[in-house]
Structure 1
Amino acid sequence: MEQPVDIQIFGRTLRINCPEEKRAELNRAAKYLEKQLQELKERTKISNVEQLLFISALNICYDLNQEKAKFQNYTVSIDRGIQSLKDTVSRAISEHNTQTLQTNNIKKI
């Protein structure tokens, strides 16, 4: 069941409904956002909170998209590896069956 949770981000308190089992994740996300905002503020000297929030949101979205692309590339690579293994196993089984048939045919003669 969702319960309201108060989180602090950049000096502001937000009350967010959150399932109990997701509360730790929400707090980690809030701390991550707080850290990103603070680092951006120090790096850019921007003091406008709205600007900092938008820039941080864009940076986080960019990072997320990069990670999604890496994951997708990794998935494609894994799929290719699995297909290669399947092909190798199929060839090995086929060769084994061919050799077995040839051996059986020689024994019959």
Structure 2
Amino acid sequence: MSDIKQLDVTIMGREFRIACPPAEEAALLQAVDMLDQKMRGIRDSGNVMGIDKIAIMAALNIAHEFMNTRIAGGFDVADFRRRIGRMQDTIDEALKEQQQLF
């Protein structure tokens, strides 16, 4: 069973404690930094007031960017991982056959 680590992060000057598996800590910290930058950019534009509205606008912007990446022939991480998994299985099978020769 993997341990869950408690991380203290800051987004727009507010502290949050987030549970995270140790192996995903670096990715989570990158996500926190990205969200903080998006929210600060929205706040600094002066068009949106209130932390809740800023958070919703940041979430919508990130979701939109994600959807455009997938739709526009971009990089689909889940599909990429499935393909790599199938390639690894094929390689493992080929190596098993080679080991039987010796």
| CA displacement 1:60-79 (0-9 Å, x = unmatched) | 111110011124699xxxxx
Rounded Cα–Cα distance in structure 2 between residues aligned with 1:72 and 1:29: 19
Structure 1 residue 11: deviation in Å? 1.2
Rounded Cα–Cα distance in structure 1 between residues aligned with 2:69 and 2:29: 21
Structure 1 residue 12: deviation in Å? 1.1
Q: If the length of structure 2 is used for normalisation, what is the TM-score? A: 0.65
CA RMSD of aligned residues (A): 2.0
| CA displacement 1:2-44 (0-9 Å, x = unmatched) | 1111111011111111011111111110010000011111113
Residue pairs, 1:8-47, within 5 angstroms:
8-47=10-49
Asked if the contact 2:69/2:75 (under 8 Å) is kept, the reply is no
Q: Considering only CA atoms, is the larger Rg found in Structure 1 or Structure 2?
A: 1
What are structure 2's unaligned runs of at least 5 residues? 77-102
User: Equivalent of 1:52, from 42, 51, 54?
Assistant: 54
Number of matched pairs: 74
C-alpha change, 1:29 and 1:72, in structure 2 (3 Å) is closer
Q: If the length of structure 1 is used for normalisation, what is the TM-score? A: 0.61
Structure whose residues are more often helix by fraction: 1
What are structure 1's unaligned runs of at least 5 residues? 75-109
